[in-house]
Structure 1
Amino acid sequence: MNIGQIAKRSGISAKMIRYYEQTGLIAPVQRSAAGYRVYSDQDLKTLQFIVHAKQLGFATEQIKALLGLWLHEHRQSASVKHLAQQHIQQLKQKIASLQHMVAVLEQSVAACAGDEHPQCCILDQLEQGV
């Protein structure tokens, strides 16, 4: 497959695939005699793995670690579980932070008159910090 074909099949843009290769997220692929990248079915599986990991919110460094474990047939599932547990904790922290933001904004919006006057407690709160 060429880069256009694998981009279409994986749902990842050609630019992003090249970026993944530059950053080491995916290994450099073989090139044709003309210098074009040639991708295999395994490369497609790797890109799909990356897509699925990104959908779950894993960061690039976490995905690199997961890929390393996925490709290492003598891995220990405990290592994978540990990475996933760490990620769950990070997600929970993000959720708590987002819930706090919503609560602060809801409080500001409820206190805002929302009329023709210039005074706005939302802007005041942003000026003062949350």
Structure 2
Amino acid sequence: MNISKVASRTGLTSKTIRYYESIGLIEAARRLDNGYRDYSEQQLQELKFVQQARVLGFSLDECRELLELNRNKQRRSADVKKIAGEKLADVETKIQQLQAMKSGLCRLIESCAGDENPDCSILTALSDQ
């Protein structure tokens, strides 16, 4: 299957697919006589796998590790669960950081009169920090 069809079926761009090949995340597609890439069903499935993992926030290195575990039929599910648990902890930390940012921004916005006066408590607060 050609790269445009794979892109359509995975939701990835052709550029992203070529990049994943270039860094060895997925096996390079075989080349047809005309030089076009020809992707197998397995490569399609692995690209879908990576796309789903990326949606969940896994880094490319983590995707590589998960792909290796997925390919290894002797894997331990505990290894997969550990990676997912670490990602969840990262997400929870980011959520806490975003909530703190939101609270800070809300306080700044509430403190600003938002009128025609040039004095702005937001700018003052940012300058004082």
Structure-2 residue corresponding to 1:28: 28
Task: Provide the C-alpha distance between the structure 2 equivalents of 1:109 and 1:24, rounded to a whole number of angstroms.
Answer: 47
Give runs of ≥4 in structure 1 deviating > 2 Å. 123-129
User: How many Å apart are 1:62 and its aligned residue?
Assistant: 0.8
1:42 pairs with 2:42:
yes
Q: CA deviation at 1:123?
A: 2.3
Letter in 1 for 2:87: H
Q: Does 1:69 align with 2:65?
A: no
Report SS of the residue matched to 1:26. Answer: coil
* TM-score, normalisation: structure 1: 0.94
Distance 1:121 1:24 in 2: 51
> CA 1:94–1:38 in 2, change beyond 3 Å: closer, same or farther?
same
SS at match of 2:75: coil
* One-letter identity of the residue aligned with 1:86: E
Supply the distance in 1 between the matched residues of 2:47 and 2:88 (Cα, whole angstroms): 23
Q: What letter corresponds to residue 49 of structure 1 in structure 2? A: F
Deviation, structure 1 residue 125: 2.9
Q: Which runs of 5+ in 2 are unaligned?
A: none
Match of residue 4 from structure 1 = 4
Mapping 1:47-58, distance limit 5 Å:
47-58=47-58
Q: Percent identity?
A: 42
Distance 1:128 1:60, change over 3 A: farther
Q: How many residues align?
A: 129
Q: Deviations over 1:59-101 (max 9, x none)?
A: 1111111111011111111100110111111001000000000
Cα deviation per residue 1:39-65 (whole Å; 9 max; x = unaligned)? 011111111101111111111111111
Q: Quote the offset at 1:126 in angstroms.
A: 3.0
RMSD: 1.1
Give the C-alpha shift of residue 124 in structure 1: 2.7
Structure 1: gaps (5+ residues): none
Aligned in 2, Cα 1:26/1:123: closer, same or farther, shift over 3 Å? Answer: farther
